[in-house]
Amino acid sequence: MNISLKGKTALVGGSSKGIGEAIARQLAESGASVTLMARSEERMRTIVEEMDTSQGQEHQYLAVDFSDFDAFKAIISKFFKSNTIDILVNNTQGPEAGGALEKKVEDYQKAFDLLFKSVIFTTELALKHMQKNQWGRIINIASISVKEPLNYLALSNTIRAAVVTWAKSLAYDVAKDGITVNSTLTGYFDTDRIAQLNAKKAEKLGISPDEVRANMEKQVPMKRIGTPEEYGYLVAFLASEQAAFITGTNIPIDGGLLKSL
């Protein structure tokens, strides 16, 4: 099967590193013209220069801070005045770790703005072209914690669950327009985010980050954590014509870690 996204345009959030970067690079390798969207302008500039352009793609980047919704709203609104998107990958940095008893109402509001409001607003803008064109792909990067909550990620558990239920509702409404809406449930991947969470957990438990990582790998049936490149392959497939009949799904990518159905 040859996945071709030639002629398609994509917007990928959180794409200056980790999973977001890998997704952006894979979409570009598949032929799409990609707009990166994240905080680090310098890093995105480097990635854009490195990405595949062998099929005539034109890549660009958009510097945003997802944690400042009002500023984000202004920037993304301006972007869509002169750009259209066929493939939208909703992805942001995660909120701070911590258990339910550690978090206050204000923390949940910040996480809501970061993980939910930014996704809804961006999707609303992207949908106008998709519906007019009768083709579109919306892919939300979520977490396995929406199925099996992780007690040290109370904010992420809560708000990402809202995102995937919203996505299920949206998928029903836009299916008639040739638009698919799917969510990927992220397991353990070799990213800076995992390293930061492991460091915090190691400090709390009084062990080394290496021990935390080793214990994490033992939990995964495949006895390893995933690479960002492997994540990019899944998203490229979901963005393709071959995935036209797949919508409203929550797809775990976790090496078999989830125990629930």
Angle between helices 118-133 and 154-174 (to 10 degrees): 20
- In this prediction, residues 89-104 reach a mean pLDDT of 93
What pLDDT does 14 receive?
97
Name the E strands within 91-145.
Answer: 136-143
Question: What strands, in cross-sheet order, belong to the sheet with 136-143?
Answer: 60-63, 33-38, 9-13, 87-90, 136-143, 179-186, 250-253
Contact 38, 14 (CB under 8 A): yes
Q: Residue 94: pLDDT above 90?
A: no
For the chain, give the percent of residues with pLDDT over 70.
Answer: 100
Q: Residue 245: pLDDT above 90?
A: yes
Q: pTM score, two decimals?
A: 0.95
Per-domain boundaries in the chain: 9-187+227-252, 189-225
**Fold category of 9-187+227-252 in CATH:** Rossmann fold (3.40.50)
What pLDDT does 261 receive?
83
Contact 50, 100 (CB under 8 A): no
19-28, 46-55, 149-158 — which is least confidently predicted? Answer: 149-158
pLDDT digits (tens, 9 = 90+) for 161-203: 999 999 999 999 999 999 999 999 999 999 988 888 888 889 8
Q: Residue 204: pLDDT above 90?
A: no
> For residues 100 and 154, what is the distance between their CA atoms, to the nearest angstrom?
5
Q: Residue 68: pLDDT above 90?
A: yes
* Unique residue bearing structure tokens 């558990």: 157
What pLDDT does 29 receive?
97
What pLDDT does 150 receive?
87
192 CB neighbour count, 10 Å cutoff: 10
What pLDDT does 200 receive?
85
Among residues 108, 152, 172, 233, which one is catalytic? 152
pLDDT digits (tens, 9 = 90+) for 114-131: 999 999 999 999 999 999
What pLDDT does 154 receive?
95
What pLDDT does 142 receive?
97
Based on the residue annotation, tell me whether 233 is a catalytic residue of this protein. Answer: no
- In this prediction, residues 9-28 reach a mean pLDDT of 97
Nearest of 73, 74, 36, 31 to residue 56 by alpha carbon: 31
pLDDT digits (tens, 9 = 90+) for 32-46: 999 999 999 999 999
